């Protein structure tokens, strides 16, 4: 496979095009519930830090709801806290 | 009166009857205070995501209720002093429910408008959209 990187002139900023869409908007998930561990854990990878929007593509409105739900889920031990 | 959820974790080593007794006590607080029980769900044993007071496992119970601040305060006070209770959380759900209703109404109106135009693909049902 050819590498796109090599063909790019030096100094030019490199863009990786990624499909960035908000899962909650697309799937019309209107309520992000703290009990839905399966859903929430998709946004709490490995070290259990909440995945940033720029990676997940979640819109700001849903990110707010997501953060809120994850906080509640952590509080009642349905999800782990971030470990350092 | 507002909608709330109370979720609590009970020491999983105590017998089931004890859990029922705890549930009955909480139910009593809610109903005596003039609130309403919508659902009591014994979610059962599950692994805790982190250790709490040496517990690695807990028995989860969920109360879905209609209550006011005084009832909630009393439930929390009681849960705090009950020995087998490892942890609890109270969550207000009416704001979210209102928001959800707004979204649904909006979607319904839009679907109706689309139906009057009667072209293109059939409008997705609200139920489908909620999946
Ligand atoms: Zn969104």
pLDDT value of residue A4:
43
> Within a 10 A sphere around the Cβ of B75, how many other Cβ atoms?
25
pLDDT over 70, % of chain B: 89
3-class SS of residue B77: helix
Q: CA of A23 to nearest chain B CA: how many angstroms apart?
A: 13
User: Are B4 and B93 a contacting pair, CB within 8 Å?
Assistant: yes
Q: How many Cα atoms are found within 13 Å in the side-chain-facing hemisphere of B17? A: 0
Of the candidates B79, B35, B34, which has an alpha carbon nearest to the alpha carbon of residue B61?
Answer: B79
Domain that holds residue B79: 2-94
Query: Is B114 a member of any domain?
Result: no
Q: Which domains does chain A have, with CATH numbers?
A: 30-84 (4.10.640.10)
User: Are B32 and B79 a contacting pair, CB within 8 Å?
Assistant: no
Query: Is B71 a member of any domain?
Result: yes
pTM: 0.78
How many domains does chain B contain in total?
1
Query: Is B106 a member of any domain?
Result: no
Nearest-CB residue to B100 (from A30, A72, A76):
A30
Beta strands B2-10; B85-92: pairing state: antiparallel
Q: How far apart are CA B102 and CA B121, in angstroms?
A: 24
Query: What pLDDT digit, counting tens, does each position of A51-67 carry?
Result: 999 999 999 999 999 99
Average of per-residue pLDDT values in chain B: 90
Query: Is B66 a member of any domain?
Result: yes
Is a pLDDT exceeding 60 seen at residue B130? Answer: no
Query: What pLDDT digit, counting tens, does each position of B38-77 carry?
Result: 999 999 999 999 999 999 999 999 999 999 999 999 999 9
Which residues in chain B are closer than 8 Å to A39, comparing Cβ atoms?
Answer: none
Range 63-82 of A in CB contact (< 8 A) with B: 72, 74-81
3-class SS of residue B8: strand
- Chain A interface, best mutation among B91, B92, B104, B128, by max A CB count within 10 A: B91
User: Are B55 and B85 a contacting pair, CB within 8 Å?
Assistant: no
Paired tokens of B62: 């969920």
Of the candidates B81, B80, B75, which has an alpha carbon nearest to the alpha carbon of residue B37?
Answer: B75
Query: Is B107 a member of any domain?
Result: no
């Amino acid at each position: 496979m050819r590498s796109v990187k090599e063909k790019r002139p030096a100094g030019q900023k490199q863009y990786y095009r990624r499909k960035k869409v908000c899962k909650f908007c697309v799937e019309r998930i209107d309520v992000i519930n703290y009990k839905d561990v399966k859903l929430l854990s998709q946004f709490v990878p490995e070290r259990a830090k909440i995945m940033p929007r720029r990676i997940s593509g979640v819109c700001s409105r849903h990110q707010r709801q997501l953060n809120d739900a994850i906080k509640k889920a952590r509080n009642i031990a349905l999800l782990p806290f971030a470990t350092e | 009166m507002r909608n709330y959820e109370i979720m609590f974790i009970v020491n999983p080593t105590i017998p089931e009857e004890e859990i029922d007794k705890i549930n009955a006590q909480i139910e009593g607080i809610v109903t005596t205070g003039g609130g309403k029980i919508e659902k009591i769900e014994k979610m059962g044993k599950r692994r805790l995501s982190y250790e709490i007071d040496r517990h690695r496992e807990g028995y989860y119970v969920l109360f879905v209720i209609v209550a006011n601040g005084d009832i909630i305060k009393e439930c929390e006070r009681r849960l705090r002093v009950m020995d087998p209770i490892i942890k609890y959380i109270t969550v207000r759900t009416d704001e979210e429910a209102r928001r959800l209703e707004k979204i649904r109404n909006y979607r319904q109106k839009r679907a109706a408008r689309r139906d009057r135009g009667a072209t293109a693909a059939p409008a997705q049902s609200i139920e489908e959209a909620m999946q």
